[in-house]
């Protein structure tokens, strides 16, 4: 790998978020120009770095590029981020668009791509457009990406929904019989990378796999962006080593006493609830999203609100999801706000099992995962609710027909 003569110092932590100015000059000053790296060099560097995707699935990036088979491959940078609890992609695109665009250019070289797409929401389009303009004038890219606007829906970032939208249709999932590496956009071999993954690729190409692996979990190394929200003193997007524990994020990044936190929703609306007792044994994995539920808030009420949102966000193309998710939301609302018996919980479990795995995309699967984890993590509270009490209002007298004092706000 040829290195740039006046190479800037490799960043420790933060890495991606050292950028403050989104301009090309600031980018080159901080990180240096994109090195001339060949396709086999790049793939071998990514393989040695053990970089895995930062979009949630965590698939090894080198394998993903190597599995592309066929003519006229397509590369897509996915910045859709339909998850309301996540802001990392938006922040990255605003602060370091050139890292993402470097990564996209590298990805294009890695698969000898014919077409490049940037799939970003409306609010990022202007920044991305400006960055592309700068690069065009500086003539640093061999390829010219097309920007496609992603709608602001939860499932807009789902892989087949991305393909559909790029092809000019609606951003709704499609039936899949082959993997994207064989058939994606317009039937061509396609690689979709989360924008954060591309940013890491841009840095690995400059500073090497050894540098990349110097922080984080040895099995899945590097840094990752995590969005903190909820009942925390400090909220926002932070860059942490992979394998960081939930307790670290709450205490150090969130500047919050963990004793004030009832539970944490890890991984967003398709993630799982982590009880306070498990904070220091649970690393952040999947999508970097940590949403804290305060002691004064009710986990069941919050889950009911999330389930309601998820039911609403269903593409409504597939029977089990379209029929089952609204029923699950209704049952959870009943569980959270009315006094119920144990059949409610078993009915919720039965429905969660019924929708899981039965649809064109993983929306029902993720919803089922969230709901099951809520039933497990808040099982004590379920008992309280049956007696018209709530753990979040322990000091308050038992409620009659009022909802418990928690504000079940959707973020």
**What b/e sequence results for 235-245 when a residue is b if at least 16 CB atoms lie within 10 Å of its CB, and e otherwise?**
bebbbbbbbbb
Q: Least distance (Å) from other proteins to the CB of residue 308? A: 9
CB-nearer residue toward other proteins: 183 or 260? 183
Stretch in the footprint of other proteins (CB under 8 A) among 27-35, 279-287, 313-321, 403-411:
313-321
Q: Least distance (Å) from other proteins to the CB of residue 84? A: 21
Q: Which residue has the tokens 């479990």?
A: 349
Helix axes 39-49, 97-111, angle to 10 degrees: 120
The residue length of the chain stands at 411
Q: Kindly tell me which residue out of 285, 330, 340, 405 binds other proteins, with binding defined by CB under 8 A.
A: 330
Nearest to 410 by CA among 330, 312, 328, 282: 312
Contacts of 195 (CB under 8 A, 6+ apart): 77, 78, 79, 89, 92, 93, 100, 103, 120
CB-nearer residue toward other proteins: 237 or 301? 301
Stretch in the footprint of other proteins (CB under 8 A) among 66-74, 82-90, 130-138, 207-215:
66-74
Q: Is 231 within 8 Å of 302 (Cβ atoms)?
A: no
d(CA 198, CA 211): 16
Nearest to 45 by CA among 206, 269, 220: 206
Question: What residues between 133 and 192 interact with other proteins by CB under 8 A?
Answer: 173-175, 177, 179, 181
Q: Cα dist. 19→140, 158, 393 in Å?
A: 19, 28, 44
- Does position 386 interact with other proteins (CB under 8 A)? The reply is no
- How do strand 216-217 and strand 115-121 relate by DSSP bridges? unpaired
CB-nearer residue toward other proteins: 38 or 178? 178
- Does position 63 interact with other proteins (CB under 8 A)? The reply is yes
Stretch in the footprint of other proteins (CB under 8 A) among 57-65, 99-107, 197-205, 402-410:
57-65
CB-nearer residue toward other proteins: 221 or 324? 324
- Does position 57 interact with other proteins (CB under 8 A)? The reply is no
Binding flags for other proteins, 342-371, as an x/- string (CB under 8 A): ------------x--xxxx-----------
d(CA 262, CA 230): 11
Q: Least distance (Å) from other proteins to the CB of residue 386? A: 21
CB-nearer residue toward other proteins: 44 or 317? 317
Stretch in the footprint of other proteins (CB under 8 A) among 19-27, 212-220, 326-334, 337-345:
326-334
d(CA 204, CA 195): 14
Q: What is the binding site for other proteins (CB under 8 A)? A: 59, 63-64, 66-67, 69, 173-175, 177, 179, 181, 311, 317-321, 323-324, 326-327, 329-330, 354, 357-360
């Amino acid at each position: 790998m040829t290195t740039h003569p006046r190479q800037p110092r490799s960043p420790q932590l933060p890495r991606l978020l050292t950028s403050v100015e989104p301009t090309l000059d600031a980018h080159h000053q901080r990180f240096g120009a994109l090195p001339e790296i060949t396709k086999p060099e790049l793939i071998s560097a990514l393989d040695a770095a053990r970089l895995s995707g930062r979009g949630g699935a965590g698939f090894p990036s080198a394998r993903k590029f190597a599995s592309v088979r066929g003519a006229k491959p397509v590369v897509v940078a996915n910045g859709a981020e339909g998850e309301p609890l996540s802001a990392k992609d938006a922040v990255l695109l605003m602060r370091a668009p050139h890292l993402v665009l470097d990564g996209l250019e590298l990805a294009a070289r890695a698969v000898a791509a014919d077409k490049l797409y940037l799939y970003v929401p409306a609010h990022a389009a202007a920044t991305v457009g400006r960055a592309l303009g700068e690069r065009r004038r500086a003539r640093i890219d061999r390829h010219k990406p097309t920007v496609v606007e992603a709608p602001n829906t939860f499932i807009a970032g789902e892989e087949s929904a991305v393909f559909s939208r790029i092809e000019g249709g609606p951003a709704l999932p499609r039936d899949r019989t082959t993997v994207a590496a064989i058939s994606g956009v317009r039937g061509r071999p396609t690689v979709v990378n989360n924008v954060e993954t591309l940013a890491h690729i841009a840095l690995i190409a400059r500073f090497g796999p050894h540098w990349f692996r110097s922080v984080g979990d040895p099995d899945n190394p590097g840094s990752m962006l995590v969005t903190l929200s909820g009942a925390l003193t400090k909220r926002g997007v932070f860059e942490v080593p992979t394998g960081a524990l939930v307790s670290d994020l709450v205490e150090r990044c969130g500047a919050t006493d963990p004793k004030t936190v009832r539970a944490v929703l890890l991984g967003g609306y398709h993630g799982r609830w982590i009880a306070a007792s498990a904070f220091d044994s649970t690393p952040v994995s999947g999508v970097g999203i940590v949403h804290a539920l305060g002691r004064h808030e009710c986990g069941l009420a919050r889950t009911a609100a999330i389930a309601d949102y998820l039911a609403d966000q269903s593409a409504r193309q597939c029977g089990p999801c379209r029929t089952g998710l609204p029923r699950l939301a209704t049952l959870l609302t009943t569980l959270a706000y009315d006094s119920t018996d144990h059949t409610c919980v078993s009915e919720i479990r039965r429905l969660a099992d019924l929708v899981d795995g039965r649809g064109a995309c993983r929306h029902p699967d993720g919803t089922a995962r969230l709901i099951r984890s809520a039933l497990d993590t808040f099982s004590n509270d379920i008992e309280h609710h049956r007696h018209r009490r709530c753990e979040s209002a322990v000091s308050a007298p038992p409620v009659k027909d009022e909802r418990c004092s928690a504000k079940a706000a959707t973020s």
